[in-house]
């Protein structure tokens, strides 16, 4: 009887603590100025590892396919894929980010320190994000700016801005 109670309690505590959220769709977009004009782009192929406890994100990591860069300009995309100062997806196939720490700042609002790796350079960035849950569906939303120079990305390309605005949307369904 004691074992039954122990296993029952263990099951309920574990079920309450570990929420299984699975991605259904994702989008990653970026914006950077080039000669004063905004250049918009996207990346696809996101793979995630998400851990939740009591419906709160406690660990988040993701990779994105560097070869999927798309700015709606095939010549620019080729340049971004092939030039040494840019993505080089044959050598560095993924861009990654993984949480180092996550803190809740308000209802549905969080601040995380994430290790971001682009090519062979890793930096920790503080990134605000939201997790919104409604009727078994969830959304993780992050909007942040990173400095491309911190990642030795883009070299000394004339006219290229340093700040890259990144937006991530991850739609989730509860299992």
Q: Find tokens 């905004």 and name the residue.
A: 38
Q: What is the pLDDT of residue 175?
A: 84
Q: What is the pLDDT of residue 19?
A: 59
Q: Any idea what the Cα angle at residue 48 is, between residues 131 and 24, rounded to 5°? A: 65
Reading the block at residue 108, the tokens are: 């549905």
Tens-digit pLDDT string for the chain (175 aa): 555 444 444 444 444 445 589 999 999 999 999 999 999 999 999 999 999 998 899 999 999 999 999 999 999 999 999 999 999 999 999 999 999 999 999 999 999 999 999 999 999 999 999 999 999 999 999 999 999 999 999 999 999 999 999 999 999 999 8
Which CATH code of 3.10.450.750, 2.40.10.10, 1.20.120.790, 2.40.128.110 fits the domain covering 20-174? 2.40.128.110
Reading the block at residue 14, the tokens are: 């574990």
CA distance 171 to 94: 21
Q: What is the 3-state secondary structure (H, E, C) of 7-19?
A: HHHHHHHHHHHCE
Q: What is the pLDDT of residue 13?
A: 45
CA distance 167 to 30: 6
Q: Which residues contact 14 (CB under 8 A, 6 or more apart)?
A: none
């Amino acid at each position: 009887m004691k074992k039954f109670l122990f296993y029952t309690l263990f099951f309920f505590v574990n079920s309450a603590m570990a929420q299984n959220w699975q991605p259904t769709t994702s989008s990653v977009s970026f914006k950077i100025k080039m000669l004063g004009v905004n250049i918009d782009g996207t990346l696809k192929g996101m793979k995630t590892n998400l851990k939740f406890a009591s419906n709160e994100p406690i660990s988040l990591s993701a990779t994105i396919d560097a070869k999927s860069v798309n700015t709606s300009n095939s010549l620019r995309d080729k340049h971004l894929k092939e030039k040494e100062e840019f993505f080089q997806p044959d050598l560095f196939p993924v861009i990654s980010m993984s949480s180092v720490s996550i803190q809740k700042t308000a209802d549905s609002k969080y601040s995380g320190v994430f290790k971001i790796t682009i090519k062979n350079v890793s930096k920790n960035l503080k990134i605000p994000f939201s997790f919104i849950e409604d009727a078994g569906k969830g959304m993780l939303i992050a909007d942040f700016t990173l400095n491309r120079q911190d990642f030795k990305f883009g070299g000394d390309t004339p006219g290229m801005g340093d700040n890259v605005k990144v937006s991530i949307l991850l739609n989730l369904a509860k299992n």
